[in-house]
Amino acid sequence: MIIRTLGLLAVTGLLTGCVVAIGDKDYEKLDGADNQWRATQQQNLAQINQFQPGIAFNDVISLLGTPDFTEFLVKDQQQVQVLFYRTQHKRSDGKTTKDECTPLVFINGQLHSWGDKAYQQL
């Protein structure tokens, strides 16, 4: 009975060590993901700050990649596309929302304007 109890204590101690090691590893992954979205956010903002009106839709996609959100509508017989790219942190909830993004407004495939005021004028 004493040998069995000592054996169970030894196994329990080993399992506890495993949990701590896994927990530390998972924490590093979360920290890396946190750094990744921050870097992406900064890169998006740096690129957008260099844009000029008239840039082609496909050129923006080539520079920034897949947007976080997109919208499309036809207004006054013009095709209007809005791409949303994350550029600012608001909440640490693990989700990107439109209020954390800068909208880029394209009319007929050309960058027309960007930012919240441009989006609100649609």
Q: What is the pLDDT of residues 57-93, one digit of tens each?
A: 999 999 999 999 999 999 999 999 999 999 998 888 8
Distance CA 18, CA 115 (A): 49
What's the DSSP call for residue 102? Answer: E
For the chain, what is the mean pLDDT?
A: 81
What pLDDT score does 119 carry? 96
What pLDDT score does 31 carry? 57
Topology of the domain comprising 2-120: Beta-lactamase Inhibitory Protein; Chain:B, domain 1 (3.30.1450)
Q: Give all strands (DSSP E) within 2-77, no chain letters.
A: 69-75
